Amino acid sequence: SMAAQERLLRVVEYGEVTRIGASRPLSVDVRIVGATNEHLPHAAQEHRFRADLLDRLSFDVITLPPLRAREGDVAVLADYFGRRMASEIGWSGWPGFSGAVLAQLETHDWPGNVRELRNVVERAVYRWMDETQPVGGIALDPFASPWAPVPTGGRAAAGGPRAEASSPPAAPPIASPLPSASSAIPEGGDLRGAVAAYERALIEQALTRHRHNQRATAKALGLSYDQLRHCMKKYGLPR
């Protein structure tokens, strides 16, 4: 706010602060370091930031590049956040990341910069089940799911047909043949029971194909690891 900027200007200009409830200012001798993602000269032109305060604060300006442009920083920061999260959840040590995960981290654009990197790393460590093995899976988009709700109410692209809001995302292909309906669905059952039986057979086949590697199975079925675990619990499959 402009009022807060006025108070900060008084600190910078005169070296004085007034405590809440006090009647007299106190002298202070401090160095002020500020950080912002706002373009302050432009804000000053639009009268959203005091030009006189900008002049005092801009004694020395350092412009940091985005995280994606700072070669080598991603791995260092990811290791730091990973170690800290491992300690918080009680791991006895820090196994690090697999080479594939490090490659994913290095090639991601990180539009959310360090805050996004921290969230991705902490989520990956929290979900990883074997603290003795390097973390080998990450979810860059926590909302990615075959069952994610489709946005509604938006306009169709110019010149193109409007997308059907109720159309679910296409399921990823599965390498081996699906179980046949006749073998998976019990005779005489209702529709809900038939669908459940088919889904269970599909999961069992995928688990067998991937030697009960649950992460590989989840990936093949287009599910997250947590979603697969939920389905296995639902159908009483050994976990």
Where a domain ends, among 127, 145, 165?
127
The answer to whether residues 16 and 52 belong to one domain is yes
Q: What is the DSSP string of 123-152?
A: HHHHH---TTS-B----S-TT--TTPPPP-
Q: Given this model, what pLDDT does residue 183 score?
A: 52
Q: Hey, how many other C-beta atoms are within 10 angstroms of the C-beta on 197?
A: 18
Where a domain ends, among 83, 100, 127?
127
CA–CA separation, 96 vs 94, rounded Å?
A: 6
Residue 221 covered by a domain = yes
Residue 166 covered by a domain = no
Angle at 31 between CA 28 and CA 32, to 5 degrees: 105
The answer to whether residues 74 and 53 belong to one domain is no
Give, in order, the Cα–Cα distances in Å from 31 to each of 13, 15, 57, 165: 12, 10, 10, 55
Burial 226-237 (b: 16+ CB within 10 A, else e): eebbebbeeeee
pLDDT above 90 coverage of the chain, percent: 26
The answer to whether residues 51 and 79 belong to one domain is no
Residue 144 covered by a domain = no
Q: Given this model, what pLDDT does residue 175 score?
A: 45
The answer to whether residues 71 and 113 belong to one domain is yes
Number of H helices, E strands in the chain: 10, 2
Residue 156 covered by a domain = no
Angle at 98 between CA 129 and CA 237, to 5 degrees: 30
Q: Given this model, what pLDDT does residue 19 score?
A: 84
- Work out how many domains the chain is built from and give that number: 3
Residue 201: helix, strand or coil by DSSP?
helix
Q: How confident is the model over 152-164, as pLDDT tens digits?
A: 765 544 444 444 4
Supply the range of the domain harboring residue 228: 181-234
State the pairing for strand pair 26-27/16-17: antiparallel
The answer to whether residues 43 and 8 belong to one domain is yes
Where a domain ends, among 39, 57, 75?
57
Residue 158 covered by a domain = no
The answer to whether residues 76 and 53 belong to one domain is no
- Alpha carbon 132 to chain centroid distance? 24
Q: Mean pLDDT across the stretch 161-187?
A: 49
Q: How confident is the model over 99-142, as pLDDT tens digits?
A: 999 999 999 999 888 999 999 999 999 999 889 999 999 988 88
CA–CA separation, 68 vs 73, rounded Å?
A: 9
Residue 149 covered by a domain = no
The answer to whether residues 48 and 75 belong to one domain is no
How does residue 174 score in pLDDT terms, banded at 50, 70 and 90? Answer: very low
Residue 162 covered by a domain = no
Q: Per-residue pLDDT for 234 more than 80?
A: yes
Burial 155-171 (b: 16+ CB within 10 A, else e): eeeeeeeeeeeeeeeee
Q: Given this model, what pLDDT does residue 224 score?
A: 85
The answer to whether residues 227 and 191 belong to one domain is yes
Q: Hey, how many other C-beta atoms are within 10 angstroms of the C-beta on 184?
A: 19
Residue 106 covered by a domain = yes
**Domain harbouring 74, CATH code:** 1.10.8.60
